[in-house]
Amino acid sequence: MSTSTTSIRIDQELYQQARSEAACEQRTIAGQIEYWAKIGRAALDNPDLPIDFIAESLASLASPREQATDFTPRSQRS
């Protein structure tokens, strides 16, 4: 899959915030802004969901499936 890039202008303060957060989250600055945009888009599409739930759901979807654990209902746990 090939991706293309486009240059955009953003506010310097937003850039600095993205740079700081990207370093903490081990993302590129562009990756951090894309992450924020995905969360914002999902929040607009699902206004009844808490933002933390949206962020965690997107993170879960991005996790490799081979690292996932099977769901076991509490009633079946020993």
Residue 34 has pLDDT above 90, yes or no: yes
CA–CA distance from 33 to each of 1, 15, 22, 28, 68 (Å)? 21, 9, 9, 9, 26
* Tokens linked to 60: 């879960």
Give CA–CA dist 75/61, Å, rounded: 26
Q: Are 33 and 16 in contact (CB under 8 A)?
A: no
Task: Name the residue with tokens 């993302």.
Answer: 27
Name the band, by pLDDT with cuts 50, 70 and 90, for residue 38. Answer: very high
Q: Where are the domains of the chain?
A: 12-62
Percent over 90 (pLDDT), the chain: 59
